[in-house]
Each structure stands twice: as C-alpha cells, then as structure tokens.
C-alpha cells in the first residue's frame, strides 16, 4: 500500500502537460529541423535501448491550440515534447491508413498500435451476423491503420463478460473470435 499522497490524477497531469505543449506550439512554429521525419521507405521505430516505453493515447492530446485546430502530426509531436516515447493511435476509425502514415512520417513519433472505440458496442462475438461483419470490417481497418503507422497491434474488445455461465461464455467468445478472423494462421488457433 502506498503512503505517498497523490494530489494530481494521472489524467489531470497528462492533460495539463499536453495543454502546456499545445500552448507552446501556438506560440512557435515547429520547423523542419525540429521535426525528425522518416524517409519514404523508412519506418519510425521505438527509441533504441529502452526496455519500457511510455505512451499515451492520441485522444489524450489537445486537438486545439487557442482557436486553431491541430493536425495529427502536430499532436504526435506534442506527445514527444511532453516526454512520451510513442502514441497509441486511438479512434483509428476516424483516419485513413494514408493519414496515419503521413502523420507519423511528418512527426517522427513512434505509434505502438491502433484502437477503434467502436469495439465497445460492435463486437466480433456478437450473436448477430451483421454486427460481427461490421466488427470484422472495423478490425480490418484498424489493422491497416496500425500497419501504415508502423504499429504492431490493434486493441479490441472481443466479447462481453457479463453472463450467468462464464465458462460457456469464454468458449463461445473464443469460437466466434476464431471464425471472425480466418486470416489467422492455423498455429495461432
């Protein structure tokens, strides 16, 4: 049990830090020398030599500086300036793979993965085939966005845990997930 006081929540700290970064961005223009960019065939990699990486979600970074709307590359750069090693590309459904790739190349900031918030309501394990089809399309889009941005994964919610029969629920969720993802190698099943 920790005896240290925690007067500021993590969310408040990150929000304040990133808001401060947005203010700094509003005052100065980030020049080409300040913004490392990957070449056309070059991927942005995580910082070398670090075993643990600190990241935040893109949605935690301010999207405005005053009255000016910030682009994705600017927001990624703000995360780097705040000391983050990379960013989780959340709300991936709002971006195309090309937009994600260009933002990462322009900012030089590593993207760990993609997250699509639609997974909370549109799940691969839903009993309705039309909902599963939509969930699969969402997952495929997120895989493309993650790959384009240099990420190595996608965060999804595969099933719902509230049930009177948890063992059956886990089995059904597993079966539906495997059926929804036929691109998986047989050795992964």
Q: pLDDT digits over 99-108, tens only?
A: 999 999 999 9
Mean pLDDT of 82-100: 92
Taking residues 32-49, report their average pLDDT. 57
pLDDT at 38: 41
Question: How far, in Å, CA of 43 to CA of 149, rounded?
Answer: 8
Q: Is 31 exposed, middle or buried (0-12, 13-18, 19+ CB in 10 A)?
A: exposed
Return the pLDDT at 84: 93
Three-class SS state of 36:
coil
Please state the domain extents for the chain.
12-28+52-188
CATH 3.20.20.150 fits 12-28+52-188, yes or no: yes
Q: In b/e form, how buried is each residue of 88-106, taking b as 16+ CB within 10 angstroms?
A: bbbebbebebebbbbbbbb
Does pTM surpass 0.85? no
Q: Do 75 and 61 meet the contact criterion of CB atoms below 8 Å apart?
A: yes
Report the distance separating Cα 99 and Cα 79, nearest Å.
Answer: 18
- 169 CB-near residues (< 8 Å, 6+ apart): 159, 160, 161, 163
Higher pLDDT, 31 or 110: 110
Helices 97-107 and 129-149: crossing angle in degrees, nearest 10, is 30
**Averaged pLDDT for residues 23-47:** 47
Are 134 and 123 in contact, with CB atoms under 8 Å apart? no
Higher pLDDT, 53 or 3: 53
Average pLDDT, the chain: 75
* Whole-number pLDDT of residue 42: 64
Mean pLDDT, to the nearest integer, of 132-145?
90
As a whole number, mean pLDDT of residues 12-31 equals: 41
Q: What is the mean pLDDT of residues 129-141?
A: 89
Q: What are phi and psi of 57, to 5 degrees?
A: -85, 145
* Nearest in space to 64 (alpha carbons), one of 93, 25, 99: 25
């Amino acid at each position: 049990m920790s005896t240290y006081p925690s007067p500021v929540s993590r969310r408040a700290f990150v929000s304040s830090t990133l808001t401060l970064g947005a203010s700094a961005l509003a005052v100065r223009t980030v020049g080409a020398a300040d913004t490392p960019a990957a070449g056309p065939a070059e991927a942005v990699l995580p910082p070398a030599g670090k075993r643990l990486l600190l990241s935040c979600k893109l949605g935690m970074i301010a999207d405005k500086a005053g009255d000016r709307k910030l682009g994705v590359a600017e927001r990624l750069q703000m995360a780097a300036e705040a000391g983050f090693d990379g960013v989780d590309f959340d709300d991936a459904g709002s971006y195309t793979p090309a937009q994600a790739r260009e933002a990462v190349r322009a900012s030089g900031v590593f993207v760990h993965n993609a997250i699509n918030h639609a997974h909370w309501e549109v799940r691969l394990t839903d009993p309705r085939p039309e909902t599963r089809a939509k969930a699969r399309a969402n997952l495929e889009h997120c895989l493309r966005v993650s790959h384009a941005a240099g990420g190595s994964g996608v965060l999804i919610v595969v099933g719902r845990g509230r049930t009177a029969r948890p063992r059956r629920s886990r089995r059904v969720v597993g079966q539906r997930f495997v059926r929804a993802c036929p691109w998986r190698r047989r050795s992964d099943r």
